[in-house]
Chains A and B, each alone.
Chain A
Amino acid sequence: MLNRLKKKLGLVVAMAVLGVVMAACPASAVIQGVTGTAFNFTAKPGYIYGGDGVSIYIWGFANGTGVVQYPGPTLLLHEGDNVSITLTNSLTTNVSMVFPGMSNVAVTPGGSGVPGIITTECPPAGTVTYTFTAANPGTYYYQSGTDPALQVEMGLFGAIVVYPTGSFPASPGVLSQPGHAYNDTQGDSAYDREYLLIVSEMDARIHRAAERGIAPDTNGFFSVYWFYNGRNMPDTMGAAGDPMLPTQPYNALFQMHPGEKVLYRIVGIGRELHPVHPHGNHTNLIAQDGRLLSSGPANGADLRKRLFTIPTTPGGTYDTIFEWTGANVGWDIYGHAPGDPMQPNEFAADHGKPFPTPIPHQQDLMPGQLYSGSPFLGGSGALPPGEGGFNPTGAYMHMVHDHVEKELCNDGIFPGGAMTIMAIEHPSVPIP
């Protein structure tokens, strides 16, 4: 057991944020990013906040001359787009960009580029324009191609989502909309909502060294912070664009209704392996590294696997479709009486079946802040004074977390790290 008071204070703040997000700011259900085909990025230093409130020095990409962000701006592209990124370097060291999985990657002549080991680099105060074709739909990323052991660790990376022809969201960056992730005709990649999950880690000593201008030791790497979309729990569950986290604009808070298909686009951007474990159900791994798990062009995702833990590898991307209906739970998750009307996508065989066990006396239970007080979806119930209250809609708040369990810490303080929530909402609760 840890210092429970300290922990509780942290959690209460986090859950208060979550409660507000759930109640008033539901537009969190999106992949936030930038659209277009011509981008201007600036590489620059800055600071982010760990989930423990400690500020951490980073290098990152900014959109245009805006604030640096961790991770960099997510590019939301169409299949076939010819994209250019003009990179300006405000760091004191060379920097560059590489685009794994993209086609026709080139550097536009005429900039201030200098040869690097794996790509043309941009010297301090210089400008280089990279171009590529987003030839195939899927989930990708960009990163620094210069001293990546240090520069990717420092934060010079971001995600790329390439939507297939005919499946670009009408309002990208605003709403999570139904679509298909790939051009399969079988419907294996069809989804109702999509979310991005970029997994990264940090060794704080490297960042402290870089901040002081000391040559960082990237070999004795030992991570102490683990991130989803650039935030640690509890900030993962806060609002996107939170002004308290100006350099970490992306949150990682997920919502769905029973019966929906949710596409998680998972990016393992760091140097470690991380097993991502969504509570609540298995998930269907349909693609890796921007390619459908398919034995042939016409076969759909016939090599897809149904997993309860998605192991990410360094630099790998994973598209996986999560569904949840409550089928075969063995009791009516809505607490219906036998004659009551059915909810959409309710599992008919369990309709009207009673809750199967007694519930212990309140004083014997430790209820969580996200517990509604009721075992039923959309339900509510009495909670001890000062407990709970951050689940006003009675959602099933299933954790999504890194199952190298120690990674649920922020620099040695539990809870924290690579953890967030998938809120399965009652069908009557709108999710934008």
Chain B
Amino acid sequence: MNKTALWFIRGAVFCALMYAVPSMAIVDTYCPSDLNGDGISDDPDVVCRHITGGDGFAKMADGKDLYVFGFGDATGVPDGEVMMTNMLGANTPAPTIVVKEGQEVYLTLSNVGMANRPDLFDAHSVHWHGFPNASVYYDGVPDASVAINMGASLWYYYKAMDPGTYMYHCHVEVVEHMEMGMVGNLFVTPLQDGTAFDDPTDSVVKNFTKFAYNDGDGTTGYDVDKLIQLGDFDSRFHDASISVQPLPFDTLDGDYHLINGRGYPDTINPDPIVNVDGNPYQPEDSLVTVTQGQRVLLRVSNLSATEYHTLRSLGIPMKVIGRDARILRTGGDPAGTDLYYYTSSVTLGGGQSYDVLLDTTGVAPGTYFLYSRNLNDLNNKDERRGGMMTQIVVQ
């Protein structure tokens, strides 16, 4: 689709929406700590984010343009422009949300509609997957709470008290919306960040200032962190969606296997992948570049709607220090006993996360691979030597 056509569609759908939806429906950012009206919080203890739910396209590593649903980032976009700028603005994966422990989060979700499927009137929601002691209203499950219709905004509030690797996804028509791509990464960084600790279990003396958890001893310290979200797309399902055919739920099975919404070699492209509309909506590579001696924190999650995956590290041992946004100590309690362990793989079903340290002390400079040991994941549909694989470059 060329740019002119795209803007034509946007305009047409925008007009249709304005005509079709009740007059009170309006995009409206809620950010009580925004003093100057730019949609950005002016209080360091408060984070405001604005995301949109809609559709768009992702480009697979073999060049296939895949129709997707997704979230787009509208933080700081004036309310009156959100419908036009974020229509067809689905990001794959959804915009990454990073907040600090103790921060309050106001998240606005606006539904910009499905420009390519004007027959759909789907609502959307945000499920902060794993949020401790969640209320139902802000949990995003439409059966038990509320979801937001097209052209309008819904406001979520969270107090981020527990650091760790979370994820988020839409929970409306959840099989379809997750398979179509409404999945993203969400991290809470610990209060301990900024304090220096030398990990006593380490062979070298090095003061870390960034940590996965409030470990009290530096054992979860890292130099570089990387999100590694595993997922799959079943192109038959996506193609059926764009061509308004019955959706093949009964045969769902991924044929594109992705890390952060990309298949290898796109996984190691440091630039955003540009989609058929010319938009950089696959912004997250998974290439890890480190200097020998540095420690990497992999924030691994699986939001595949269809499969388990075993992620294996070739050449650099994995140290598992967290699971499901909890430090791997007795009962997930920082005061508990270490249950950390070394391995070379982690296996995740949908909705699980692992925090894994890769220490490159003594690791020879070179290129190392991180890949799915489900060997049928190592392709981009019919194209071999691709799929769920990325690189760690030690310099």
Which residues of A are at the interface with B, using a C-beta cutoff of 8 A? 1-2, 11, 222, 224, 273-275, 277, 279-282, 284, 302-309, 311, 324-331, 333, 356-361, 363-371, 375, 377, 391, 396-399, 403-406, 408-409, 411-415, 421
Closest B residue to A4 by CB, please name it: B121
The DSSP consensus for interface residues of chain A is: loop
Number of interface residues of B (CB under 8 A): 75
* CA–CA, A224 and B306, complex, Å: 12
Which of B332, B347, B351 counts the most chain A CB atoms within 10 A? Answer: B351
CB-nearest residue of chain A to B351: A403
Q: Which chain B positions have C-beta within 8 A of A328?
A: 132-133, 159, 161
Q: Which of B120, B130, B174 contacts A405 (CB 8 A)?
A: B174
Contacts A356-B157, A412-B248 given; does A275 touch B352 at CB 8 Å: yes
Q: How far is the CA of A172 from the CA of B151 in the complex (A)?
A: 53
**Distance to closest chain A CB from B337 (angstroms):** 6
Question: CA–CA, A408 to B169, complex, Å?
Answer: 15
With a cutoff of 8 Å between Cβ atoms, the chain A residues found around residue B66 in the complex are none
Contact B330 A302 (CB under 8 A): yes
Q: Name, among A1, A325, A391, A414, the residue most crowded by chain B CB atoms within 10 Å (CB to CB).
A: A1
B174 & A306 in contact (Cβ 8 Å cutoff): no
The 3 A-B pairs of least Cβ separation, nearest first, read A306-B332, A412-B250, A403-B351
B179: chain A residues at CB < 8 Å are 405-406
Q: Which residues of B contact A273 (CB under 8 A)?
A: 308, 349
Can you name the residue of chain B whose Cβ is closest to the Cβ of A413? B249
Give the contacting residue for A409; candidates B130, B154, B250; CB below 8 A: B250
Q: Which one of B130, B159, B173, B333 contacts A1 once the chains associate, using CB atoms below 8 Å?
A: B173
Contact B305 A405 (CB under 8 A): yes
A404-B135 contact in complex given A305-B332, A306-B333, A307-B324, C-beta closer than 8 Å: no
In the bound complex, do residue A357 and residue B326 qualify as a contact, i.e. CB atoms below 8 Å apart?
no
Query: Could you say which residues of chain A place their CB within 8 Å of the CB of B365?
Result: none
Residue in B106, B135, B152 with the greatest tally of chain A CB atoms within 10 Å: B135
Per the bound structure, the CA–CA distance linking A117 and B252 in Å amounts to 36
Return B12 CB to nearest CB of chain A, in Å.
20
| B239 close to chain A: CB less than 8 A | no
Q: Are A364 and B130 in contact (CB under 8 A)?
A: no
Write the nearest CB–CB distance from B188 to chain A, whole angstroms: 12
Centre residue among B122, B138, B155, B250 by max chain A CB count within 10 A: B250
A404 with B307: CB separation less than 8 A: yes
Q: Looking across the interface, which residue of chain A has its beta carbon closest to that of B352?
A: A309
B178, A405: Cβ atoms under 8 Å? yes
Asked if A308 and B176 make an inter-chain contact with CB atoms under 8 angstroms apart, the answer reads no
CA distance A356 to B350 in the complex (A): 31
Q: How far is the CA of A369 from the CA of B146 in the complex (A)?
A: 10
Docked Cα-Cα span, A302 to B339, in Å, equals: 9
Which of B134, B142, B249, B328 touches A412 (beta carbons < 8 Å)? B249
Bound Cα distance A402, B161 (Å): 26
B351 with A2: CB separation less than 8 A: no
Q: Does the CB pair A305–B22 fall under 8 Å?
A: no
Q: Footprint of A on B, CB under 8 Å?
A: 22, 24-25, 30, 104, 106, 120-123, 127, 129-130, 132-139, 141-149, 151-159, 161, 172-176, 178-179, 247-252, 304-308, 323-326, 328, 330-333, 337, 339, 347-352
Q: CA A364 – CA B304 in complex, angstroms?
A: 30
| A421 CA to B144 CA, complexed, in Å | 9
| 7 residue pairs bridging A and B, Cβ less than 8 Å apart | A308-B129, A360-B146, A363-B22, A364-B25, A364-B149, A365-B149, A404-B308
Instruction: Report the minimum CB–CB distance from A408 to chain B (whole Å).
Output: 5
Q: Indicate if the CB atoms of A329 and B159 lie closer than 8 Å.
A: yes
Residues from chain A with Cβ under 8 Å of B134 in the complex:
279-281, 329, 398
Q: Give the residues in chain B near A333, CB-CB below 8 Å.
A: 135
Contact A368 B145 (CB under 8 A): yes
Could you list 15 further interchain pairs (A-B, Cβ under 8 angstroms) beyond the known A2-B247, A325-B133?
A: A280-B136, A308-B129, A308-B325, A328-B159, A331-B157, A356-B157, A357-B155, A359-B146, A364-B24, A364-B149, A365-B149, A366-B149, A367-B145, A368-B146, A375-B135
Measured CB to CB, the closest approach of chain B to A6, in angstroms, equals 12
- The answer to whether residues A366 and B247 also contact, given A282-B332, A361-B24, A406-B175 and a CB cut-off of 8 A, is no
Q: Are B176 and A1 in contact (CB under 8 A)?
A: yes
* Least CB separation from A280: chain B residue: B134
> CB distance B326 to A306 under 8 Å?
yes
Min CB distance A223 to B, Å, is 10
Which residue of A279, A358, A397, A405 has the most chain B CB atoms within 10 A of its CB atom?
A: A405
Residues of the A chain whose Cβ atoms lie less than 8 Å from the Cβ of B156: 357
Residue of A nearest to B339 (CB): A303
State whether B176 touches A311 (Cβ < 8 A).
no
Q: How far is the CA of A291 from the CA of B152 in the complex (A)?
A: 51
Q: CA A428 – CA B15 in complex, angstroms?
A: 50
Q: Which of A282, A303, A397, A411 has the most CB of B within 10 A?
A: A282
Which of B104, B132, B148 is within 8 Å of A360, CB to CB?
B148
Chain A residues within 8 Å of B249, by CB: 406, 409, 412-414
Set A279, A281, A364: member contacting B148, Cβ < 8 A: A364
Q: Which of B25, B173, B176, B306 contacts A404 (CB 8 A)?
A: B306
What are the residues of chain A within 8 A of B147 when measuring CB–CB? Answer: 365-366, 368
Check A275–B350 contact: CB distance below 8 A: yes
Q: From B120, B156, B305, B350, name the one whose CB has the most chain A CB atoms within 10 angstroms.
A: B350
In the assembled complex, the CB of B10 is this many whole angstroms from the nearest CB of chain A, namely 21
Please, which residues of chain A bring their CB within 8 A of the CB of B129? Answer: 277, 308
Cα A366 to Cα B30 in complex, Å, equals: 19
- B143 CB contact (under 8 Å) in A275, A370, A411: A370
Q: In the complex, A406 Cα to B146 Cα: how many Å?
A: 22
Smallest beta-carbon distance A390→chain B, Å: 10
- Complex interface: chain B residues within 8 A of A377 (CB): 135
Tell me the nearest residue of chain A to B125, going by C-beta: A366
In whole Å, how far is A427's beta carbon from the nearest beta carbon of chain B? 16
